[in-house]
Structure 1
Amino acid sequence: MEYLKFCFVFSCCVKFADSVFSTDTPQAPAPIPKDKLLVLTVATQETDGFLRFMQTANYFNYTVKVLGMGEAWKGGDVGRSIGGGQKVRLLKEAMEALADQEDLVVLTVDSYDLIFAGGPEEILRKFQQANHKVLFAAEGIIWPDTRLADKYPSVRSGKRYLNSGGIIGYAPYVSRVVSQWNLHDNDDDQLFYTKIYLDPLQRQTLNMTLDHKCQIFQNLNGAVDEVLLKFGTDRVRVRNTAYDSLPVVVHGNGNTKMYLNYLGNYVPNTWNYDHGCSHCDDDVVDLSELKEYPYVLVGVFIEQPTPFLPEFFQRLLTLDYPKDKLKVFVHNNEVYHEKHIQKFWEANRNVFNTFKVVGPEENLSQGEARNMAMDECRKESTCDYYFSIDADVMLTNRQTLKLLIEQNRKIIGPLVTRHGKLWSNFWGALSLDGYYARSEDFVDIVQRKRMGVWNIPFMAHVYLVKGSVLRNEMKERNVFVLEKLDPDMGFCRNARELTSHREKDSPSPESFHMLRPPKGLFMYITNRHDFGRLISTANYNTSHYNNDLWQIYENPVDWKEKYINENYSRIFTENYLEEPCPDVFWFPVFSETACDEIVEEMEHYGSWSGGRHEDRRIAGGYETVPTDDIHMKQIGFDKEWLHFIREFISPVTLKVFSGYYTKGYAVMNFVVKYTPGRQSYLRPHHDSSTFTINIALNNKDSDFQGGGCRFHRYNCSIESPRKGWSFMHPGRLTHLHEGLPTTNGTRYIAVSFIDP
């Protein structure tokens, strides 16, 4: 007997030793083949979100079956309240044919607000590692019944609550879950799944769990701060920093759809640092292959006094697009601008297909005017596109309209920015109260360090909308007027959160619940090209005769384009200047427009000094060598003129007087008027300056006869001044000079004694 006990104990010890020291390892289960994964999703319409979902699914070669396409949606307004039961009913019907396929893994996900970040192999591997039959997505916020929170199993780490936007499981088990559905289409799908999961017996019998640490499913609601982009060489991933996981399915549930749109600009391969934009040329329209160009209604909005309006209209005129295909609608809210519009219309009345102006006498609000313009396109079946542009947009790219049409998006705008600033016509994100917030990529997009086509939550100033969108998705005509929102914000919110009203062909009381799911339109901004800029309308004073002259600070680029001679830059690139007398340099600086407007401004002011010695405008009240003039200070232009000297005269000074660095300061800045009847010449004198500029403001022969300047020391005269060109010469000691007589007409010059 003792012997038998010994043998038994010895045998057990040997078996234990074999198990401890054996070199054999347990066999890992074979990977699930990717052809055993089927994705089921419910979508009754091909929304922008659905098309993006399918794009990411196709990128990873998922097998997707879409349920309910074309059906009327009866699942309630799931974006704002409970609902979604229709999804469970459709899934239940689909699973009846799949219930006996034991080796089939079914992944059921939402589609309007969801993207894939990884492929089938990864999702199957992670599902297999979870070692459960059914795995639900998890989130940190309980919905829709907070009273059920205490019934959830506690977790040490991770998300505790079920989310129905993502479920993965073996087909028989998923079928057993959804087969319990016996509710209405507008009942809540998440509440249905929650009650099954919270039943301890069912949770054990069906072997269910939640994806607590976002290995597969990432729900963004309540977790935006945990998520960031991880850029790789082949594609971009979403990384959950709380659990150091790389979720495969990213769901923009709740109010995180705009953040999902931001992620979707990169994930999985939309844009990265190596190849840039991957889908910018998908589904583009080749205008050269069309029989004729599409009709475009151009809505122009002048809602406040706006500088450089004639130049705006000129750029509209020079757009490279057939003018017979352009119908122009102008809303002008400013009496001041009526003269500009009238002048443009008189010169171009027969250029466009139609040209309609709604003026300030109509007393329309900005929102009402924008609704009216958009409705002009909506009600005409021949209107293919609606192009909205505010008067503060300077389109420098003549191809803008063609480039936008070619991108083939429902709503798209060109990036335009304010010169030297980050101010632009789009927002990369919104704050919780619906106003501007800076997205991580905003600066790079504005500065065109990242170029592509970007899904954004807000745009203004300039954008293109397909006419078909206005007649279908946005057929409601009051899109620009929402309480407490300006028209641009109202339009964008209507586009983002677009949900159709109750079905008009369903008179029954329950039709109130028959709302389609939110089918928000995606709005895009493109910065693939340099399109132009925004001008500043702030501080635009219309009390002058030529108000744009004062815009040298607010809008320096447009000021330079309008008022600086087109050959000015050649001074530095081609040495485009002359030296007609020793140390007297002659160069182009003003455009003809600048010369004309300065003269007009002075004549409009009208108080010429008369060339008298007594002059209260200067220190001491006595001018030794007086001229018939008006000082820049008298018309309130002295600060702007000094800025002009620093920006455009000082660089020339450094070039011609090497080693001298001017302060760009002058006390005496004035326009002189020479006429035979008042003052025709100026006697020899020295200027009280280190150097002087003398800019001709009109043309010899056509405007006056005679004139010019003679330098005595060198016996050198310049008798043929060129309009817009400036003399620059030393002021003291060496360059005694006189103004030669004007024999006929009126001669105007602008003079500054610089560095007195």
Structure 2
Amino acid sequence: MKATVQGSCPPFSSPPPSLSTDNLLVLTVATKETEGFRRFKRSAQFFNYKIQSLGLGEDWSAAGGPSAAGGGQKVRLLKKALKKYADKEDLVILFVDSYDVVFASGPRELLKKFQQAKSRVVFSAEELIYPDRRLEAKYPTVPDGKRFLGSGGFIGYAPSLSKLVAEWEGQDNDSDQLFYTKIFLDPEKREQINISLDHRCRIFQNLDGALDEVVLKFEMGHVRARNLAYDTLPVVIHGNGPTKLQVNYLGNYIPRFWTFETGCTVCDEGLRSLKGIGDEALPTVLVGVFIEQPTPFLSLFFRRLLHLRYPQKQMRLFIHNQEQHHKLQVEQFLAEHGGEYQSVKLVGPEVRMANADARNMGADLCRQDQTCTYYFSVDADVALTEPNSLRLLIEQNKNVIAPLMTRHGRLWSNFWGALSADGYYARSEDYVDIVQGRRVGVWNVPYISNIYLIKGSALRAELRHVDLFHYSKLDPDMSFCANVRQQEVFMFLTNRHTFGHLLSLDNYQTTHLHNDLWEVFSNPEDWKEKYIHENYTKALAGKLVETPCPDVYWFPIFTEVACDELVEEMEHYGQWSLGDNKDNRIQGGYENVPTIDIHMNQITFEREWHKFLVEYIAPLTEKLYPGYYTKAQFDLAFVVRYKPDEQPSLMPHHDASTFTINIALNRVGEDYEGGGCRFLRYNCSVRAPRKGWALMHPGRLTHYHEGLPTTKGTRYIAVSFVDP
């Protein structure tokens, strides 16, 4: 006897009247209200499905939840629920899983396709046979489509479904799929009940074994899943077996949660507004800071933490510093600001606590404290430049949420859009668009790292397992995500705002006194924030450039920190020249106008200095000297030291340059007295150089100049002879 095949019908039969959507009921089993169940309900409500949930509040008898192996409990609950519908001939019941299911279309299309199947009961179909492969030979062959029954979704008339489950006498942990399979494989029962399979995925799309067949289909203001193998648009999408992450991906869009026309339509649902709430009433946040390797710009990290627009008295600090290299910086920050926070706990390098253990400790500190509303985990390589970040994440009101962070100019980020078969990185179709901001929203993703916010209530419930950061042999970040996924808690990523970026740690050197100076290539944004004067952009716009002498321009370029660190780096190196004419550092070994100085190449800083000249000096040069374009080449770039008892001044001279940059590195009147520069041809002097400001002037022919005597203290300047 052949299987009933969809679409077969007696010749000359008239089409049956269409079924009313009022006569459709959706039954599902959900023993607890998980995030997957809430997603299912939201997609059902979007299409106005009538939903009845079975088993809420019951314990689930099989490990892994209602979508896992076992499933007999679902049959028991369905059998009980169908008793009151057994005689309702016109009632159509759709029975589906819920935690890993979304609707892609509404009741009208569902009923139309069911009616076209010409069967009393239609089961979803699968590529893979489960749970007993020995039954494969008993399955009817099909010319086209998927051959095997899937129990995660079926639709039928109420009396027929009552007959289907009438024989169930099994245990809750018995296999529902095996039960239905045996009925289907019994030709007599199959014909009596009139069961068919949805071979071509017109109604149901089981994703297991079919990931390559299913793509998103963006329609006007609507998103469907399209099966490429059969060119069908399924109504019910089921992430059965190991494909739950794919239904998470599809569920970011289907049915209309994100479209190209509307963007994100659900991002403002269920927000927790903090507007109008006084500081004392704001939720308490435990901030976990993790310094697990030598990290540049730690001073900026702490400054950004301080500048978060959230009251410190509602924040507690847990800091794990594994690096001796950063010990003094951490202790200095806590000495200056620790008292501003509600409490502080520091685990330093002397404790030798492993990364995963420290992260477990941080999460557990919040878990064990009923007053801890949120746990905010932040790694030191996160540049959190948006001061409202913490508020924005809290307001999104998710159990686990991370802000998007990327590395400068790269696609490297703190999330993965998909996982490979072995559980590592795979690129989702939308990954690049999310990273580059072409798709903006709140995304359900399988992996987040570096920075995330967790509700304290989640840590005390679904994530109460105290060892979140160990899982098999995985690293702590992947272990955390695996454990969260296993508890069916969704991890969300938001790119609705520009929160900041990730630092690159790849080439970080720790051999200098101030290692951040060398980061201009690896972390240019942070280098700029730390070392370039806040008013530089005004100078670039022509609003803050002075002309103290003819063709001499004066503008802000360095921060106080840049000046101080460059001076300290040179003094730390300490090998100042003697200030005489013999100089083996330059070609020919003879210096006409010697100074006591250290060249940039002596501290292996010439590449970085050239990058600074190209990025920040060259654009100003081209504005101030129209028609002149420079690649900022130089033979000589150095820091000069003037002292009254050493070398107080410099004789009149021309520079071996097309133009010269002279940056004051300390402050007249505080660090030294006297000093300055006099241009003899114009009898014009700059006697009070401003710290961090640069003088730029032609080097040859027109601007013969001298260094005026330093009468007290020590004066430092950074000089570059550009385009010699």
Q: Partners of 1:67 and 1:156 in 2: how far apart?
A: 37
- Work out the CA distance in 1 between the residues paired with 2:277 and 2:222: 35
Match of 2:75 among 88, 113, 124: 88
Instruction: Tell me by how many angstroms 1:26 deviates.
Output: 6.5
C-alpha distance 78-144 of structure 1, shift in aligned 2 (>3 A): farther
Tell me which amino acid in the other structure corresponds to 2:704: L
- Preserved contact between residue 29 and residue 66 of structure 2 (Cα < 8 Å): no
Cα 1:403–1:81 change in 2 (3 A) is: closer
Aligned to 2:299: 310
Structure 2 counterparts to residues 114-513 of structure 1, below 5 A:
114-288=101-275, 292-498=281-487
The letter for the 1-side match of 2:51 is V
Q: Number of aligned pairs?
A: 711
Q: Percent identity of the aligned residues?
A: 59
1:556 match: 524
| 1:39-92 superposed Cα distances (whole Å, 9 cap, x missing partner) | 111110111111110111111111111111101111344689731111011111
Aligned AA (1:250): I
User: 2:67–2:152: 8 Å Cα contact kept in structure 1?
Assistant: no
Look up the match of 2:32: 45
Give the distance between the partners of 2:696 and 2:110, measured in 1 at CA. Answer: 76
* Matching of residue 581 in structure 1 with residue 549 in structure 2: yes
What corresponds to 1:638 in structure 2?
606
- CA–CA separation in structure 2 for the residues paired with 1:234 and 1:741: 74
Tell me, which stretches of 5 or more residues in structure 1 are unaligned? 1-24, 499-519
Aligned amino acid, residue 399 of structure 2: K
Could you tell me how far apart the structure 2 residues matched to 1:578 and 1:692 are? 16
Change in CA separation of 1:76 and 1:435 when aligned onto 2, cut-off 3 Å: closer
CA–CA distance in structure 1, aligned partners of residues 567 and 588 of structure 2: 28
**Residues 548-627 of structure 1: matches in 2 within 5 Å?**
548-627=516-595
1:58 is aligned to 2:6:
no
* Structure 1 Cα separation of the partners of residues 585 and 682 of structure 2: 33
**Compared CA separation, residues 290 and 341, structure 1 to 2 (3 A):** same
* Amino acid paired to 1:411: V
- 1:101 has 2:69 as partner: no
1:734 counterpart = 2:702 = yes
Q: What's the CA shift string for 1:172-223, capped at 9, x where partnerless?
A: 1111111111111101010110010001111111111100001100000111
- The reply to whether residue 29 of structure 1 matches residue 7 of structure 2 is no
> Which whole-Å deviations, capped at 9, do the CAs of 1:713-749 have from their partners, x for residues lacking one?
2222211111111111111222211111111111100
Partner of 2:286: helix, strand, or coil? Answer: strand
2:530 & 2:350 partners in 1: Cα distance? 31
1:327-386 deviation line (CA, Å, top 9, x unaligned): 100000001111111111111132000011100111111000000110100111111111
Retained in 2: the 8 A contact 1:76–1:186?
Answer: no
Matching residue's letter, 1:708: G
Contact map agreement 1:77 1:83 (CA 8 A) in 2: no
Alignment equivalent of 1:542, drawn from 510, 519, 523:
510
**In 2, Cα distance between equivalents of 1:377 and 1:641:** 46
Provide structure 2 residue ranges, at least 5 long, that are not aligned to the other structure.
1-11
Distance 1:288 1:78, change over 3 A: closer
State the TM-score, normalizing by the size of structure 1.
Answer: 0.93
Q: Give the distance between the partners of 2:493 and 2:373, measured in 1 at CA.
A: 20
Aligned to 1:3: none
CA RMSD of aligned residues (A): 1.3
Contact residue 197 and residue 203 of structure 1 kept, 8 A:
yes
Q: Which moved more, 1:527-536 or 1:262-271?
A: 527-536
Q: Deviations over 1:116-171 (max 9, x none)?
A: 11111110010001111110000111111111111111011100000000110111
Q: Offset of 1:27 from its aligned partner? A: 4.4
State the alpha-carbon separation in 2 of the partners of residues 406 and 684 from structure 1: 64
SS in 2 for 1:100: coil
**What TM-score comes out, normalization by structure 2 length?**
0.97
SS across alignment from 1:350: helix
Query: In structure 2, how many angstroms separate the alpha carbons of the residues matched to 1:474 and 1:26?
Result: 58
- Residue 290 (structure 1) shift: 5.3
Aligned to 2:630: 662
Deviation per CA, 1:394-433, whole angstroms, max 9, x where unpaired?
1111111111111111000111111211111111111111
Alpha-carbon shift at residue 574 of structure 1 (Å): 3.6
1:709 aligns with 2:677: yes
Instruction: Determine the structure 2 residue equivalent to 1:22.
Output: none
**CA apart distance, 1:584:** 1.4
SS across alignment from 2:702: coil
